[in-house]
Amino acid sequence: MLLYTNMPALRHEMECLCRVFYPFEKIAFVPQPQAQLHILVKEDAVLVQGRVGDTGVQDREALEPYGADVAAARALYRVLCTVSGIVPKWGVLTGVRPAKLMHRVASALGREGAVQDFQTRLLVSPEKAQLASEVMTHENRLIALSKPDSFSLYIAIPFCPTRCAYCSFVSHSVEAGSAKKLVEPYVELLVQEIAAAGEIARSLGLRLETVYFGGGTPTTLSAEQLSVLFAAVRSSFDLSHLREYTVEAGRPDTITRDKLMAIQNAGVARISINPQSFSDRVLQAIGRAHTPDDTLRAFELARACGFSCINMDLIAGLPEDDPASFANSVDTAIRLGAENITVHTLAVKTASFLAGGGKKLCSAADTDEMVSYSAAALRAAGYYPYYMYRQSKSVGNLENVGWCKPDMDSLYNVYMMDETHSVFGCGAGAVTKLRAPGGAQIERIYNFKYPYEYISRFDEMLQRKARISEFYEEYK
């Protein structure tokens, strides 16, 4: 789709909104004569006009009381609804963190006022506005636990047994011999980075609240390698204030008793076992090497090893899935009694195998039915939504929601998504996100993405950590 606007500051948001309706089309801004749609900011209104296919369209929105950005979004949204036949439930919102926006609006208008504002100003459906409000309420309870000197630690393990069809993360399949050779040197250097991060945290007098091992698939590592990393965390950081310790055990085909016991012995209380689906047909379509029975066995093994807080990830909209099959996956996770169940919506990323075609994706209508069923079933089973985020190119422009049993919320997920406090990132692809104590300033420090680059340029990357201390000095 070719767009033109006379206000360049609107380009990014208008492009994002167009992508909600046309996720797989190229969206570009061009000179006015070439454009299909013209977004024109006038003295007192925004005018959107043009032709899409055989359909001529025009809409107008007054600048008052919205301002140019919201007025343009509202007018463009209505035009795109007309030409596409799609009415996205999140209205003009394109951001990752709707609950964070809800919190900001509620600070001025109150909770009910914020819900109403989402619906009337931002054109969000009543269902999604209430969801954002509910998530905000549960998040606020956890956010209040964080102190100005609090921080979290994220440790990245960028290896997987195989690559899933939907995945675009920078993770290496250890099926490849070249990737296997990287694992041991990677672990050795990661221990050094953990130690360096711990030294910085101690010098700044920071208080570690949560630790999260993610990936990739951390249990691609051996029990011995995991134990080495857990020991590095224990020796490098003061864990006396730790509220939560999570390891993504991840894919059921990587989970063994030895690995679970290594995790348990490190003091980890929360793990994730991620089936994505309980359908053999769907698992084969996305390139997962495990079966539903493997997931059941891994879950039972984790319970036998003493884990009392287990998350399970499910994805709505996967190839070969349908509403009935997805409902069975949700019901199975509930029946198992997982304390956390996270329902993701498939996002078709450019770098994924799915983006290349060859797999029939679920329709937006079927995916919406799946997400709606999960919400109803989980509520009926006593779960509530405690965190949420959205991704570009998700099927149906739907959301990802973490559900939990009472008082089993994941603090790390909330702190990371809300940007409540600093998160120190260690490992390939990890990002250290710094938040000024008592302030809103955010700064990011990026590690190298690929394991081979992390290894070959480790000293250069480690030098970037010096910026952490400088940041805290600036915002004392």
Task: Give first-to-last CA distance, the chain, whole Å.
Answer: 47
CA distance 66 to 108: 16
Confidence of residue 176 (pLDDT cuts 50, 70, 90): low
Confidence of residue 171 (pLDDT cuts 50, 70, 90): low
C-alpha separations of 283 from 274, 289, 366 in Å: 12, 8, 18
> Looking at residue 179, what is its pLDDT?
79
Strand partners, 245: 211
Mean pLDDT calculated for residue range 253-259: 97
Confidence of residue 54 (pLDDT cuts 50, 70, 90): confident
Strand partners, 254: none
Output the CA angle 141-145-148, nearest 5 degrees. Answer: 130
Confidence of residue 128 (pLDDT cuts 50, 70, 90): very high
User: CB-hemisphere CA count at 13 Å for 230?
Assistant: 22
Quick one: which H or E segment has residue 61?
strand 55-62
> Looking at residue 327, what is its pLDDT?
99
> Looking at residue 360, what is its pLDDT?
77
- pTM of the predicted structure, to 2 decimals: 0.94
Confidence of residue 356 (pLDDT cuts 50, 70, 90): low
> Looking at residue 358, what is its pLDDT?
61
Confidence of residue 353 (pLDDT cuts 50, 70, 90): low
Q: Please report the domains of the chain, with CATH numbers, ordered by start residue.
A: 2-84 (3.30.160), 98-142 (no CATH), 145-426 (3.80.30.20)
Question: Over the stretch 272-328, which tens digit does the pLDDT of each residue have?
Answer: 999 999 999 999 999 888 999 999 999 999 999 999 999 999 999 999 999 999 999
Question: Rounded to 10 degrees, what is the CA torsion of 101, 102, 108, 113?
Answer: 150
| Cβ neighbours of 361 (radius 10 Å) | 18
> Looking at residue 23, what is its pLDDT?
87
Task: Report the sign of the C-alpha dihedral through residues 247, 249, 250, 254, in that order.
Answer: positive
Question: Over the stretch 203-233, which tens digit does the pLDDT of each residue have?
Answer: 999 999 999 999 999 999 999 999 999 999 9
Please say whether the beta carbons of 296 and 250 come within 8 A.
no
Say if residue 164's pLDDT is above 80.
no
Confidence of residue 40 (pLDDT cuts 50, 70, 90): very high
In which residue are the tokens 């900011």 written? 41
> Looking at residue 175, what is its pLDDT?
61
Task: Report the sign of the C-alpha dihedral through residues 453, 354, 248, 139, in that order.
Answer: positive
CA distance 106 to 198: 37
Question: Over the stretch 383-420, which tens digit does the pLDDT of each residue have?
Answer: 999 999 999 889 999 999 999 999 999 999 999 999 99
Share of the chain above pLDDT 70, in %: 96
> Looking at residue 350, what is its pLDDT?
66
Say if residue 475's pLDDT is above 70.
yes
Output the CA angle 46-49-53, nearest 5 degrees. Answer: 150
The average confidence (pLDDT) of the chain is 95
> Looking at residue 161, what is its pLDDT?
83
Question: Over the stretch 189-205, which tens digit does the pLDDT of each residue have?
Answer: 999 999 999 999 999 99
Quick one: which H or E segment has residue 80?
helix 68-84
Mean pLDDT calculated for residue range 21-37: 93
